[in-house]
Structure 1
Amino acid sequence: MQKYLPLLILTIFLSSCGINKKHLKQNLSTSYQLSPGMSKAEVEKIMGQPAKSDFSKNVEEWHYCKTGMGSDEFIALFFYEGNLIEKLNYTVTLADARGATGSCEKFIKMGNYREPSQVLEIRMR
């Protein structure tokens, strides 16, 4: 039993960190294949499931994330009436996240995130 103790401690430590491998390994480089007008199903086939999705005033927003050592990279995709209308790349740095990065869920819409003007116009209608 003692020889397995270090492995048990490591397993407990890693699981307590709240690491979600699905979100940490999202492949953002495939986003070049996206184009306006694509359906949500077409986007999901290319990008996979989003780390988080939101819906506000007729616009659905999907966020994808890739965590890093000093910053986290994000892509926000905006859908109107089920079709892709806009893509936004943004980054969250250590300074933005108050000294801690590595969490897709905690830092969505932080850093240099700015809602695109086309999305703002639709939401203001």
Structure 2
Amino acid sequence: RGVLEWHENQNLSKKFFRLSGEELHWKGIFALHFGNGGLGGVGFVLALMLFSFASQNLLLSGILYAIFLWVVTLIPIHKPITGITPWKHPDGNIPMLISLAGHLVYGLVLQYIVGLLL
């Protein structure tokens, strides 16, 4: 429950794979997490193609893309999946800050990998 995306993936794993119980479903969590990350990477490359000026500063583009993904995936998706509003989380603001930090690391790694491939 303390890591927002993992909580979402746990709930989705139970639904998609018809799993029961409160135990963690690691395979489903990782499959959804890495699947979403891969799709996010494709989205980053498409954004760079669409906004060619963005490839001039990959570091900034990676950070901005990470923040964009965090806002787009957290605000409209988290509550319908988990029943918890992110900014009214029972554990306070820590889960949101961890989520934002994770997205920023993702953006930095993503821009680095894309930079190697370009």
TM-score band, normalised by shorter chain: under 0.3
Higher alpha-carbon Rg = 1
More helix by share: 2
Greater RCO, CA 8 A, separation 6+: 2
TM-score normalised according to structure 1 size: 0.22
